Amino acid sequence: MVWHINLLLVFPLLFNFFNRSSAAPVTYNVLSLGAKPDGKTDSTKSFVSAWTAACGSEQPATIYVPPGRYLLQKAYFNGKCKNNAITFHIDGTLVAPSDYNILGNVGNWILFEGVTGVSIRGGILDGQGTGLWACKASGRNCPSGATTLSFSNSNNIVVSGLTSLNSQMFHIVVNGCHNVKLQGIKVLASGSSPNTDGIHVQLSSGVTILNSKISTGDDCVSIGAGTTDLWIENVACGPGHGISIGSLGKDLQEPGVQNVTVKAVTFKGTQNGVRIKTWGRPSSGFVSGVLFQHVIMVNVQNPVVIDQNYCPGNINCPGQVSGVKIRDVTYRDIHGTSATPVAMKFDCSKTNPCSGITLEDVKLTYQNQPAAASCANAGGTTSGLVVPTSCL
Ligand SMILES: *[C@@H]1O[C@H](CO)[C@@H](O)[C@H](O)[C@H]1NC(C)=O
Protein backbone atom coordinates (compact mmCIF):
# COMPACT_ATOMS: atom_id res chain seq x y z
CA MET A 1 0.00 0.00 0.00
CA VAL A 2 2.95 2.27 0.47
CA TRP A 3 3.36 2.96 -3.26
CA HIS A 4 -0.20 4.32 -3.44
CA ILE A 5 0.77 7.15 -1.22
CA ASN A 6 3.86 7.84 -3.28
CA LEU A 7 1.83 7.97 -6.45
CA LEU A 8 -0.56 10.44 -4.92
CA LEU A 9 2.33 12.64 -3.96
CA VAL A 10 4.13 12.39 -7.27
CA PHE A 11 1.19 12.79 -9.60
CA PRO A 12 0.30 16.40 -8.76
CA LEU A 13 3.95 17.35 -9.08
CA LEU A 14 4.17 15.82 -12.55
CA PHE A 15 0.92 17.42 -13.56
CA ASN A 16 2.13 20.77 -12.41
CA PHE A 17 5.41 20.33 -14.30
CA PHE A 18 3.77 19.48 -17.64
CA ASN A 19 1.13 22.10 -17.19
CA ARG A 20 3.70 24.78 -16.65
CA SER A 21 6.02 23.83 -19.50
CA SER A 22 3.16 23.76 -22.00
CA ALA A 23 1.77 27.12 -20.85
CA ALA A 24 0.61 29.13 -23.84
CA PRO A 25 3.04 31.94 -24.56
CA VAL A 26 1.95 35.38 -23.52
CA THR A 27 0.90 37.45 -26.51
CA TYR A 28 1.33 41.17 -26.96
CA ASN A 29 -0.71 42.64 -29.78
CA VAL A 30 0.79 45.88 -31.05
CA LEU A 31 -2.70 47.28 -31.69
CA SER A 32 -3.51 47.01 -27.98
CA LEU A 33 -0.33 48.95 -27.34
CA GLY A 34 -1.40 51.84 -29.56
CA ALA A 35 0.02 50.95 -33.00
CA LYS A 36 -2.05 52.27 -35.93
CA PRO A 37 -2.32 50.13 -39.08
CA ASP A 38 -2.80 53.19 -41.30
CA GLY A 39 0.73 53.43 -42.73
CA LYS A 40 0.95 57.06 -41.57
CA THR A 41 0.99 57.16 -37.80
CA ASP A 42 4.38 56.47 -36.26
CA SER A 43 4.00 53.14 -34.45
CA THR A 44 7.60 52.75 -33.30
CA LYS A 45 6.79 53.28 -29.61
CA SER A 46 4.13 50.55 -29.60
CA PHE A 47 6.50 48.05 -31.17
CA VAL A 48 9.23 48.89 -28.69
CA SER A 49 6.75 48.60 -25.77
CA ALA A 50 5.67 45.18 -27.04
CA TRP A 51 9.32 44.15 -27.19
CA THR A 52 10.04 45.48 -23.69
CA ALA A 53 7.09 43.50 -22.31
CA ALA A 54 8.01 40.31 -24.21
CA CYS A 55 11.65 40.66 -23.20
CA GLY A 56 10.70 41.17 -19.55
CA SER A 57 8.34 38.17 -19.52
CA GLU A 58 9.61 35.05 -17.78
CA GLN A 59 7.57 32.94 -20.17
CA PRO A 60 7.86 32.54 -23.93
CA ALA A 61 6.25 35.54 -25.57
CA THR A 62 4.68 36.37 -28.92
CA ILE A 63 4.40 39.82 -30.38
CA TYR A 64 1.53 39.86 -32.81
CA VAL A 65 1.26 42.34 -35.67
CA PRO A 66 -2.19 42.13 -37.34
CA PRO A 67 -2.72 42.94 -41.03
CA GLY A 68 -2.23 46.58 -42.01
CA ARG A 69 0.62 48.98 -42.66
CA TYR A 70 2.67 50.24 -39.74
CA LEU A 71 5.03 53.17 -40.08
CA LEU A 72 8.20 52.56 -38.11
CA GLN A 73 11.15 54.84 -37.62
CA LYS A 74 14.40 53.43 -36.31
CA ALA A 75 13.32 50.38 -34.26
CA TYR A 76 15.94 48.77 -32.04
CA PHE A 77 15.24 45.65 -30.01
CA ASN A 78 17.85 44.88 -27.38
CA GLY A 79 18.61 41.67 -25.53
CA LYS A 80 19.32 40.59 -21.94
CA CYS A 81 15.75 39.27 -21.90
CA LYS A 82 14.20 37.16 -19.14
CA ASN A 83 13.19 34.42 -21.59
CA ASN A 84 14.82 33.01 -24.68
CA ALA A 85 11.74 32.43 -26.85
CA ILE A 86 10.27 35.56 -28.38
CA THR A 87 8.32 35.31 -31.61
CA PHE A 88 7.33 38.19 -33.84
CA HIS A 89 4.28 36.95 -35.70
CA ILE A 90 3.71 39.50 -38.45
CA ASP A 91 0.62 39.49 -40.65
CA GLY A 92 1.15 43.12 -41.65
CA THR A 93 3.64 45.35 -43.45
CA LEU A 94 6.21 47.45 -41.61
CA VAL A 95 6.94 50.61 -43.56
CA ALA A 96 10.03 52.82 -43.31
CA PRO A 97 9.66 56.60 -43.60
CA SER A 98 9.44 57.56 -47.25
CA ASP A 99 11.67 60.60 -46.63
CA TYR A 100 15.16 59.04 -46.60
CA ASN A 101 16.51 61.94 -44.56
CA ILE A 102 14.62 60.62 -41.53
CA LEU A 103 16.70 57.45 -41.24
CA GLY A 104 19.60 59.33 -42.80
CA ASN A 105 22.92 57.80 -41.74
CA VAL A 106 21.50 55.80 -38.86
CA GLY A 107 22.78 52.54 -40.37
CA ASN A 108 19.97 50.21 -39.37
CA TRP A 109 16.20 50.51 -39.62
CA ILE A 110 15.11 47.39 -37.65
CA LEU A 111 17.87 46.03 -35.44
CA PHE A 112 18.04 43.13 -32.98
CA GLU A 113 21.11 43.54 -30.81
CA GLY A 114 22.40 40.91 -28.38
CA VAL A 115 19.24 38.79 -28.39
CA THR A 116 18.87 35.03 -27.93
CA GLY A 117 15.99 32.88 -29.17
CA VAL A 118 14.10 35.27 -31.44
CA SER A 119 11.86 34.14 -34.31
CA ILE A 120 10.19 36.27 -36.94
CA ARG A 121 7.32 34.64 -38.79
CA GLY A 122 5.83 36.23 -41.87
CA GLY A 123 5.65 39.93 -42.52
CA ILE A 124 6.60 42.39 -45.19
CA LEU A 125 9.30 44.97 -44.53
CA ASP A 126 9.04 47.88 -46.94
CA GLY A 127 12.21 49.98 -46.84
CA GLN A 128 10.80 52.55 -49.32
CA GLY A 129 14.28 52.92 -50.80
CA THR A 130 13.39 54.30 -54.23
CA GLY A 131 13.88 57.95 -53.22
CA LEU A 132 17.33 57.29 -51.84
CA TRP A 133 18.36 55.24 -54.89
CA ALA A 134 17.31 58.11 -57.14
CA CYS A 135 19.29 60.55 -55.01
CA LYS A 136 22.38 58.33 -55.24
CA ALA A 137 21.94 57.91 -59.00
CA SER A 138 21.74 61.69 -59.47
CA GLY A 139 25.18 62.17 -57.92
CA ARG A 140 23.78 64.56 -55.31
CA ASN A 141 25.01 64.40 -51.74
CA CYS A 142 22.82 61.74 -50.10
CA PRO A 143 22.80 59.95 -46.76
CA SER A 144 24.08 56.38 -46.93
CA GLY A 145 20.73 54.92 -45.86
CA ALA A 146 19.74 52.08 -43.56
CA THR A 147 19.85 48.28 -43.68
CA THR A 148 16.30 47.00 -43.37
CA LEU A 149 16.74 44.13 -40.88
CA SER A 150 19.86 43.37 -38.84
CA PHE A 151 20.79 40.83 -36.23
CA SER A 152 23.91 41.72 -34.34
CA ASN A 153 25.70 39.66 -31.68
CA SER A 154 22.71 37.36 -31.36
CA ASN A 155 22.11 33.61 -31.10
CA ASN A 156 19.40 31.13 -32.04
CA ILE A 157 17.49 33.19 -34.56
CA VAL A 158 14.83 31.95 -36.99
CA VAL A 159 13.30 34.10 -39.72
CA SER A 160 10.71 32.43 -41.93
CA GLY A 161 8.31 33.59 -44.59
CA LEU A 162 9.51 37.19 -44.48
CA THR A 163 9.51 39.55 -47.48
CA SER A 164 11.87 42.51 -47.74
CA LEU A 165 10.99 45.15 -50.31
CA ASN A 166 13.05 48.04 -51.64
CA SER A 167 15.57 48.40 -48.84
CA GLN A 168 17.57 51.62 -48.75
CA MET A 169 20.82 49.70 -48.26
CA PHE A 170 21.24 45.97 -47.49
CA HIS A 171 18.04 44.02 -46.94
CA ILE A 172 19.11 41.59 -44.19
CA VAL A 173 22.40 41.52 -42.25
CA VAL A 174 23.63 38.81 -39.89
CA ASN A 175 26.63 40.12 -37.95
CA GLY A 176 28.41 38.42 -35.07
CA CYS A 177 25.73 35.76 -34.67
CA HIS A 178 25.60 32.04 -34.01
CA ASN A 179 22.90 29.60 -35.14
CA VAL A 180 20.70 31.58 -37.49
CA LYS A 181 18.12 30.08 -39.85
CA LEU A 182 16.62 32.15 -42.64
CA GLN A 183 14.02 30.32 -44.69
CA GLY A 184 11.36 31.16 -47.20
CA ILE A 185 12.75 34.68 -47.52
CA LYS A 186 11.78 36.90 -50.42
CA VAL A 187 13.89 39.90 -51.32
CA LEU A 188 12.64 42.24 -53.97
CA ALA A 189 14.26 45.43 -55.27
CA SER A 190 15.15 46.87 -58.66
CA GLY A 191 18.11 45.34 -60.50
CA SER A 192 19.61 48.83 -60.67
CA SER A 193 19.23 49.72 -56.98
CA PRO A 194 22.63 50.53 -55.40
CA ASN A 195 24.09 48.52 -52.47
CA THR A 196 20.91 46.60 -51.84
CA ASP A 197 22.55 43.22 -51.03
CA GLY A 198 19.90 40.62 -50.25
CA ILE A 199 21.46 38.83 -47.29
CA HIS A 200 24.87 39.73 -45.88
CA VAL A 201 26.58 37.44 -43.36
CA GLN A 202 29.78 38.26 -41.47
CA LEU A 203 31.61 37.22 -38.29
CA SER A 204 28.98 34.52 -37.81
CA SER A 205 28.81 30.75 -37.52
CA GLY A 206 26.07 28.23 -38.19
CA VAL A 207 23.97 30.38 -40.53
CA THR A 208 21.53 28.56 -42.85
CA ILE A 209 19.68 30.17 -45.75
CA LEU A 210 17.00 27.96 -47.34
CA ASN A 211 14.25 28.09 -49.95
CA SER A 212 14.55 31.77 -50.75
CA LYS A 213 14.13 34.04 -53.73
CA ILE A 214 16.29 37.12 -54.07
CA SER A 215 15.94 39.79 -56.77
CA THR A 216 17.98 42.89 -56.13
CA GLY A 217 20.58 45.38 -57.38
CA ASP A 218 23.67 44.01 -55.63
CA ASP A 219 24.80 40.60 -54.31
CA CYS A 220 21.94 38.20 -53.62
CA VAL A 221 24.03 36.83 -50.76
CA SER A 222 27.32 38.37 -49.68
CA ILE A 223 29.63 36.54 -47.31
CA GLY A 224 32.02 38.63 -45.29
CA ALA A 225 35.10 37.94 -43.19
CA GLY A 226 34.72 35.62 -40.22
CA THR A 227 31.89 33.54 -41.65
CA THR A 228 32.10 29.83 -40.78
CA ASP A 229 29.75 26.86 -41.26
CA LEU A 230 27.41 28.62 -43.65
CA TRP A 231 24.81 26.59 -45.58
CA ILE A 232 22.86 28.00 -48.52
CA GLU A 233 20.35 25.74 -50.28
CA ASN A 234 17.57 26.17 -52.80
CA VAL A 235 17.99 29.86 -53.53
CA ALA A 236 16.95 31.62 -56.74
CA CYS A 237 18.98 34.74 -57.53
CA GLY A 238 18.28 37.35 -60.19
CA PRO A 239 18.47 40.08 -61.03
CA GLY A 240 21.49 40.71 -58.83
CA HIS A 241 25.24 40.31 -58.58
CA GLY A 242 25.18 36.64 -57.58
CA ILE A 243 26.42 34.87 -54.46
CA SER A 244 29.71 36.37 -53.41
CA ILE A 245 32.32 35.45 -50.85
CA GLY A 246 33.79 38.90 -50.34
CA SER A 247 34.95 41.41 -50.73
CA LEU A 248 37.57 40.06 -48.34
CA GLY A 249 41.03 41.25 -47.43
CA LYS A 250 40.39 44.95 -47.19
CA ASP A 251 41.97 44.97 -43.74
CA LEU A 252 45.42 43.74 -42.78
CA GLN A 253 44.05 41.71 -39.87
CA GLU A 254 40.95 39.82 -40.82
CA PRO A 255 39.37 36.50 -39.82
CA GLY A 256 38.90 33.91 -42.58
CA VAL A 257 35.89 32.32 -44.24
CA GLN A 258 35.60 28.61 -43.64
CA ASN A 259 33.23 25.76 -44.53
CA VAL A 260 30.68 27.28 -46.89
CA THR A 261 28.18 25.13 -48.81
CA VAL A 262 26.10 26.58 -51.64
CA LYS A 263 23.71 24.01 -53.06
CA ALA A 264 20.83 23.88 -55.55
CA VAL A 265 20.93 27.53 -56.55
CA THR A 266 19.80 29.19 -59.76
CA PHE A 267 21.11 32.41 -61.25
CA LYS A 268 19.09 34.19 -63.92
CA GLY A 269 20.50 37.16 -65.80
CA THR A 270 22.85 38.03 -62.97
CA GLN A 271 26.18 39.86 -63.14
CA ASN A 272 27.95 36.94 -61.43
CA GLY A 273 27.08 33.41 -60.45
CA VAL A 274 29.36 32.08 -57.73
CA ARG A 275 32.13 34.51 -56.94
CA ILE A 276 35.05 34.88 -54.56
CA LYS A 277 36.41 38.38 -54.44
CA THR A 278 39.34 39.83 -52.51
CA TRP A 279 41.08 43.16 -52.43
CA GLY A 280 44.50 43.29 -54.05
CA ARG A 281 46.29 44.23 -50.84
CA PRO A 282 47.98 42.55 -47.86
CA SER A 283 45.72 40.73 -45.40
CA SER A 284 45.69 37.82 -42.96
CA GLY A 285 42.31 36.69 -44.34
CA PHE A 286 41.68 33.34 -46.04
CA VAL A 287 39.00 31.23 -47.67
CA SER A 288 39.01 27.51 -47.03
CA GLY A 289 36.55 24.71 -47.69
CA VAL A 290 33.88 25.90 -50.10
CA LEU A 291 31.47 23.70 -52.06
CA PHE A 292 29.34 25.01 -54.92
CA GLN A 293 27.05 22.18 -56.03
CA HIS A 294 24.02 21.75 -58.31
CA VAL A 295 24.11 25.23 -59.75
CA ILE A 296 22.15 26.39 -62.78
CA MET A 297 23.25 29.49 -64.69
CA VAL A 298 20.92 31.21 -67.11
CA ASN A 299 22.54 33.98 -69.12
CA VAL A 300 25.00 34.95 -66.38
CA GLN A 301 27.81 37.41 -67.18
CA ASN A 302 30.49 35.79 -64.98
CA PRO A 303 29.18 32.38 -63.97
CA VAL A 304 32.28 31.16 -62.07
CA VAL A 305 34.77 33.74 -60.90
CA ILE A 306 37.59 34.23 -58.44
CA ASP A 307 38.87 37.80 -58.53
CA GLN A 308 41.77 38.61 -56.21
CA ASN A 309 42.57 41.94 -57.78
CA TYR A 310 39.61 43.98 -56.59
CA CYS A 311 40.67 47.58 -56.24
CA PRO A 312 37.75 49.94 -56.74
CA GLY A 313 38.81 53.31 -58.09
CA ASN A 314 42.42 52.08 -58.01
CA ILE A 315 42.83 53.65 -54.60
CA ASN A 316 45.05 52.20 -51.83
CA CYS A 317 45.97 49.02 -53.69
CA PRO A 318 47.61 49.53 -57.08
CA GLY A 319 50.72 47.40 -57.46
CA GLN A 320 49.88 45.28 -54.41
CA VAL A 321 48.77 41.66 -54.26
CA SER A 322 46.10 40.00 -52.19
CA GLY A 323 47.22 38.36 -48.98
CA VAL A 324 44.07 36.23 -48.89
CA LYS A 325 44.85 32.55 -49.41
CA ILE A 326 42.08 30.61 -51.17
CA ARG A 327 42.11 26.83 -50.86
CA ASP A 328 39.83 23.83 -51.28
CA VAL A 329 37.04 25.20 -53.40
CA THR A 330 34.91 22.62 -55.25
CA TYR A 331 32.60 23.33 -58.18
CA ARG A 332 30.39 20.27 -58.76
CA ASP A 333 27.51 19.94 -61.20
CA ILE A 334 27.49 23.50 -62.54
CA HIS A 335 25.47 23.87 -65.74
CA GLY A 336 24.03 26.53 -67.97
CA THR A 337 24.71 29.54 -70.11
CA SER A 338 27.12 32.44 -69.91
CA ALA A 339 26.28 35.90 -71.25
CA THR A 340 29.97 36.53 -72.05
CA PRO A 341 32.67 34.40 -73.77
CA VAL A 342 34.64 33.70 -70.56
CA ALA A 343 32.46 31.65 -68.22
CA MET A 344 35.14 30.57 -65.79
CA LYS A 345 37.79 32.92 -64.50
CA PHE A 346 40.31 32.22 -61.75
CA ASP A 347 42.39 35.34 -61.23
CA CYS A 348 44.29 34.47 -58.06
CA SER A 349 46.96 36.14 -55.97
CA LYS A 350 50.54 36.02 -57.25
CA THR A 351 51.97 35.52 -53.76
CA ASN A 352 49.13 33.29 -52.48
CA PRO A 353 48.01 31.18 -55.43
CA CYS A 354 44.63 29.44 -55.21
CA SER A 355 45.11 25.76 -54.42
CA GLY A 356 42.87 22.73 -54.29
CA ILE A 357 40.33 23.98 -56.79
CA THR A 358 38.21 21.05 -57.96
CA LEU A 359 36.02 21.05 -61.05
CA GLU A 360 33.59 18.16 -61.40
CA ASP A 361 30.91 17.87 -64.03
CA VAL A 362 30.80 21.45 -65.26
CA LYS A 363 29.21 22.55 -68.50
CA LEU A 364 28.93 26.22 -69.38
CA THR A 365 28.18 27.45 -72.87
CA TYR A 366 28.21 30.79 -74.62
CA GLN A 367 25.91 31.22 -77.62
CA ASN A 368 25.53 27.44 -77.91
CA GLN A 369 29.31 26.92 -78.04
CA PRO A 370 31.64 25.87 -75.23
CA ALA A 371 32.57 28.97 -73.27
CA ALA A 372 36.18 29.88 -72.43
CA ALA A 373 38.16 29.70 -69.20
CA SER A 374 41.01 31.83 -67.93
CA CYS A 375 43.43 31.14 -65.10
CA ALA A 376 46.18 32.99 -63.28
CA ASN A 377 47.95 31.50 -60.26
CA ALA A 378 45.33 28.79 -59.81
CA GLY A 379 45.93 25.09 -59.19
CA GLY A 380 43.69 22.10 -58.77
CA THR A 381 42.11 19.07 -60.40
CA THR A 382 39.18 18.18 -62.62
CA SER A 383 37.01 15.12 -63.00
CA GLY A 384 34.08 14.15 -65.20
CA LEU A 385 33.04 16.35 -68.08
CA VAL A 386 34.39 19.87 -67.72
CA VAL A 387 33.44 22.52 -70.27
CA PRO A 388 35.13 24.93 -70.83
CA THR A 389 38.31 22.88 -70.78
CA SER A 390 40.03 23.56 -67.48
CA CYS A 391 43.02 25.90 -67.38
CA LEU A 392 44.07 24.88 -63.88
C1 LIG B 1 30.35 22.68 -41.97
O2 LIG B 1 29.16 23.40 -41.76
C3 LIG B 1 28.00 22.61 -41.67
C4 LIG B 1 26.82 23.54 -41.51
O5 LIG B 1 26.75 24.39 -42.59
C6 LIG B 1 28.11 21.64 -40.52
O7 LIG B 1 26.99 20.80 -40.49
C8 LIG B 1 29.37 20.82 -40.67
O9 LIG B 1 29.54 20.00 -39.53
C10 LIG B 1 30.58 21.72 -40.82
N11 LIG B 1 31.76 20.92 -41.11
C12 LIG B 1 32.85 20.99 -40.39
C13 LIG B 1 33.98 20.12 -40.85
O14 LIG B 1 32.96 21.71 -39.43
- The residue type of 361 is D
Q: How remote is the CA of residue 87 from the centroid of ligand 1, in Å?
A: 27
Q: In the prediction, which pLDDT does 13 show?
A: 43
- 144 vs 5 pLDDT, higher one: 144
Task: Give residue-wise pLDDT tens across range 27-49.
Answer: 999 999 999 999 999 999 999 99
Q: How remote is the CA of residue 185 from the centroid of ligand 1, in Å?
A: 22
Task: Give residue-wise pLDDT tens across range 368-391.
Answer: 999 999 999 999 999 999 999 999
Handedness of CA 258, 364, 355, 360 (dihedral sign): positive
Ligand 1: residue whose CA is nearest its atom 3: 229
Q: How remote is the CA of residue 227 from the centroid of ligand 1, in Å?
A: 12
CATH of 27-218, one of 3.40.80.10, 1.20.120.1200, 2.160.20.10, 2.30.30.240: 2.160.20.10
- The answer to whether residue 105 scores a pLDDT higher than 90 is yes
Ligand 1: residue whose CA is nearest its atom 4: 229
Q: How far, rounded to the nearest angstrom, does the alpha carbon of residue 183 sit from its chain's CA centroid?
A: 11
3-state secondary structure (DSSP) of residue 249: coil
How many helices (H) and strands (E) in the chain? 4, 29
Q: Closest ligand 1 atom to the C-alpha of 261?
A: 5
Fold match between domain 27-218 and domain 230-392: yes
Task: Give residue-wise pLDDT tens across range 149-202.
Answer: 999 999 999 999 999 999 999 999 999 999 999 999 999 999 999 999 999 999
Task: Give residue-wise pLDDT tens across range 317-327.
Answer: 888 999 999 99
Peptide bond preceding 282 in cis form (omega within 30 of 0): no
Ligand 1: residue whose CA is nearest its atom 8: 229
Q: How remote is the CA of residue 226 from the centroid of ligand 1, in Å?
A: 15
Q: Closest ligand 1 atom to the C-alpha of 208?
A: 5
Q: In the prediction, which pLDDT does 23 show?
A: 58
The proportion of the chain whose per-residue pLDDT surpasses 70, expressed as a percent, equals 94
Task: Give residue-wise pLDDT tens across range 328-371.
Answer: 999 999 999 999 999 999 999 999 999 999 999 999 999 999 99
Positions annotated as catalytic residues are 241
Average pLDDT estimate for 243-253: 96
Q: Closest ligand 1 atom to the C-alpha of 259?
A: 1
Pocket test for ligand 1, best of 229, 232, 287 (most atoms within 8 A of CB): 229
Which residue ranges have their beta carbon within 6 Å of ligand 1? 229-231, 259, 261
- The answer to whether residue 5 scores a pLDDT higher than 50 is no
Ligand 1: residue whose CA is nearest its atom 2: 229
Task: Give residue-wise pLDDT tens across range 121-144.
Answer: 999 999 999 999 999 999 999 999
- The answer to whether residue 3 scores a pLDDT higher than 70 is no
Q: Closest ligand 1 atom to the C-alpha of 231?
A: 5
- Cα separation values, 93 from 66, 129, 277, 315, Å: 9, 15, 35, 42
Q: How remote is the CA of residue 206 from the centroid of ligand 1, in Å?
A: 8
Could you say which architecture CATH assigns to the domain 230-392? 3 Solenoid (2.160)
Average pLDDT estimate for 18-31: 73
Ligand 1: residue whose CA is nearest its atom 9: 229
| Cα angle value 203/205/210 (rounded, 5°) | 115
Residue 210: exposure state from Cβ atoms within 10 A (0-12, 13-18, ≥19) = middle
> How many other C-beta atoms are found inside a 10 Å radius of the C-beta of residue 48?
16
Ligand 1: residue whose CA is nearest its atom 13: 259
The proportion of the chain whose per-residue pLDDT surpasses 90, expressed as a percent, equals 91
Residue boundaries of the structural domains of the chain: 27-218, 230-392
Cβ 126 vs Cβ 96: under 8 Å: yes
Q: Closest ligand 1 atom to the C-alpha of 228?
A: 2
- The answer to whether residue 256 scores a pLDDT higher than 60 is yes
Ligand 1: residue whose CA is nearest its atom 10: 229
Pocket test for ligand 1, best of 177, 207, 259 (most atoms within 8 A of CB): 259
